[in-house]
Chains A and B, each alone.
Chain A
Amino acid sequence: MARTLSMMAAINEALDQEMSRDPTVVVLGEDIVGGTGSPGEDDAWGGAMGVTKGLIHKHPGQLIDTPLSESAYIGAAIGAATCGLRPVAELMFIDFMGVCLDQIFNQAAKFRYMFGGKAETPVVIRATCGAGFRAAAQHSQMLTPIMTHIPGLKVVCPSNAYDTKGLLIQSIRDNDPVIFLEHKNLYDRETDVPEESYAIPFGEANIAREGRDVTIVTYGMMVPYSLEASETLKSEGIDVEVIDLRTLSPIDLDTVFESVEMTGRLVCVDEANPRCSIASDVAAAVAQDAFGSLKGPVAMVTAPHAPVPFSSALEDLYIPSPERIAEAVRRTMGERPS
């Protein structure tokens, strides 16, 4: 019988199965156990969102609560990875990566290169990302472009529970540092997830919806929004293809080109700020390598070049909506807004 899991439960199951498979897989982060060393508090919480709840009892010794110092424990995870462990470190919010960025972009990302290919750093840094949680400017950012910019890092941002489990297992088995970004507003969404372990290879986009008229290229939370927009557009006779990139580094541009060669129209949807974003990256790649296929200008739907507002009314306007995505698709079809 098909079984559904939420994205949060899929993360828990992936960690659980990989810790069982390989005793060198360790999970560390703030409060992920829920109070190591304090009597009565063991497993009280299981991380800020409860993602790792229950794992300590199945894998005692493979989960570590860390002090509230991202600089220290992200560095520790990276160091442990170079010495034979496969750590999965949880950064509560990607917004906090500023205080541990040197460890990530100047150390982990560079080791293989600086040591002539002899050093491997099989670390996974999991972090929540994205807006819509009423958590204001310092806990809501979509910092995928910053991570994607750095050579030596692999960047994953799944849109559903099935992909999340397979991509997290692949991330743990991968021998390079992986930044694994989980959108908070997708945590409760359920899909069919096999009970068995499986790995989804990096660098293969998922065609979330097949269509002939317009290609939407997106990832993360914007995938369900784009699918919603596509349903609206279907009733208007516009047939939209939705490509879920799944991994931003490596990026599957072949699937994007193939689709644009068929549709001739491209809408890049990205929850990140617009400058130097995944949307602008994909738009540039298509302009450079598939320009001849385009029937019109590329459209981009992104957040504005502004911090995420705390006001709920403003935050709702800030995040690209299905309506704005549909409007951009209509624009590429040559329709003028009424």
Chain B
Amino acid sequence: MSEEIVPILMPKWGLSMKQGTLSSWLVEEGSEISPGDEIMDVETDKIANAVEATDGGLLRRRVGMAGETYPVRALLGVLAPPSVPDSQIDAYVASFEAPVAEEEDDGEPVRLFLDLDVGRIRYAERPGDGIPVLLIHGFGGDLDNWLFNIDALSEAGPVIALDLPGHGQSVKSVAAPSLTTMTNAVIGLMDSLGVDRAHLVGHSMGGLVAGRIGIDRPDRVASLTLIAAAGLGEEINGAYLDGFVSASSRRDLKPALVHLFADQALVNRSMVEDVLKYKRLDGVGAFLEAFRDALFPGGRQAANLAGDLAGIGCPCHVIWGAEDAIIPAAHARAVEGATVIDGAGHMVQMEKAAEVNRLILSWTTG
């Protein structure tokens, strides 16, 4: 079989994705594709997003049909140079091995647990050479907030993502949770994994955690990427925080969650249900209340790192969604050279994953 033939496969976004629906092709047969081009829209029961090409080349065949559902890693298209005859492409498509439903998937970031001082911490790790990228989610989030980032970032090197204390599948009983609880957990995880230095990428409250570590422990930080980060100004959407913390039903939670995205249609039943499943766990309600009150008392941000970050030794980058309804995009101005992305809300790393991934990679591999 010609090595010049490159398949386009159904992507796998996160642990639970088994199949996806090819909503539409964004490129025609016969067009030249570059890595990073958006080539199709894919929808899962959790989320819809554009898929970008991992490889470049001439799109010879669109195998996947718009509107049809395919298992992850199913063959959706074929890239090959013009010199490869059609018959060879036919043979390639015909002999392509349909993916078997595997329990242990090599391509999947492995979910692991570690016992730190604060309690049990869940993290995901993608191996590789070099300084790892360490992803820190925001208030009420978990490592699946990096669904569209982990794979892309791991192409260039190791990636680690964790559930902070009180979040995801990490320990829920946290006495007097504070910013220090979170920075200690991140440093503790790095110690346990033998990671001396990392590129810290923090979203929202996770950006505050990353920034705090960058200031306090510059020896552990290779670079900072702060995405729609807390800690760069006083304003924050207190009504969102209160709504998120108090909601115990789908009907109450959804109106809060839609503020996270520029495209509110992204907040579907499954996303709301996943957050509810987290919020129903014993201890989460008390944790979120205490943590909100510690970090954002009275609907304002208690910590402002902007002054300290200005004199920081390592590179510090800022990304924001222009339509952020949680923390105003104006806070991006606290750091010079910030990138503000149009058409994205607070969850800019999901809504504009391709652009965010490219930016992070340009900073961490430069």
Contacts and interface: CB of A to CB of B under 8 A. Distances in A.
Q: Are these two chains actual partners, yes or no? A: yes
Nearest to A203: B249
A85 interface: no
A145 to B, nearest CB: 25
Contact of B281 (A2, A198, A204): A198
A207 B248 contact: no
A199 B283 CA distance: 11
Contact of A198 (B15, B169, B249, B282): B282
A290 B273 CA distance: 26
A36 to B, nearest CB: 31
A200 B269 contact: no
B15 A194 contact: no
Interface in A194-236: 194, 196-201, 204, 206-207, 210
A314 interface: no
Contacts of A210: 268-269
A194 B281 contact: yes
Contacts of A196: 169, 172, 281-282
B111 interface: yes
Contacts of A188: none
A201 B249 contact: yes
Contacts of B300: none
A207 B282 contact: no
Contacts of A200: 280
A313 interface: no
Contacts of B16: 2, 192
Contact of B249 (A166, A194, A204): A204
A198 B269 contact: no
B277 A201 contact: no
B250 interface: yes
Contacts of B280: 166, 198-200
B54 to A, nearest CB: 26
Contact of B250 (A1, A194, A199, A204): A204
Interface in B324-366: none
Contacts of B268: 210
A192 B14 CA distance: 15
Nearest to A241: B269
A204 B276 CA distance: 12
Given A207-B250, A207-B269, A254-B251, A1 B282 contact: no
Contacts of A255: 251
Interface string A170-205: 000000000000000000000010101111110010
B248 A201 contact: yes
B251 A2 contact: no
A166 B284 CA distance: 14
A192 B15 CA distance: 12
A198 B172 contact: no
Contacts of A199: 280, 282
Contact of B277 (A1, A197, A198): A198
A289 B277 CA distance: 31
Contacts of B248: 201
Nearest to A169: B282
B152 to A, nearest CB: 23
A255 B251 CA distance: 9
A1 B103 CA distance: 11
Contacts of B281: 194, 196-198
Interface in B275-311: 277, 280-282
Contacts of A254: 251
A5 to B, nearest CB: 14
Contacts of A201: 248-249
A25 B251 CA distance: 32
Contacts of B277: 162, 194, 198
Contacts of A1: 15, 111
Nearest to A192: B16
A166 B279 CA distance: 12
Contacts of A194: 169, 277, 281
B22 to A, nearest CB: 15
A48 B249 CA distance: 35
Contacts of A198: 277, 280-282
Nearest to A166: B280
A162 B273 CA distance: 12
16 contacts: A1-B15, A162-B277, A166-B280, A192-B16, A194-B277, A194-B281, A196-B172, A196-B282, A197-B281, A197-B282, A198-B280, A199-B280, A201-B248, A201-B249, A207-B269, A254-B251
Given A192-B16, A204-B250, A254-B251, 9 more contacts: A196-B169, A197-B281, A197-B282, A198-B277, A199-B280, A206-B273, A207-B250, A210-B269, A255-B251
- Give 9 nearest A-B pairs by CB, closest first: A198-B280, A197-B282, A198-B281, A196-B281, A204-B249, A1-B111, A210-B269, A207-B269, A201-B248
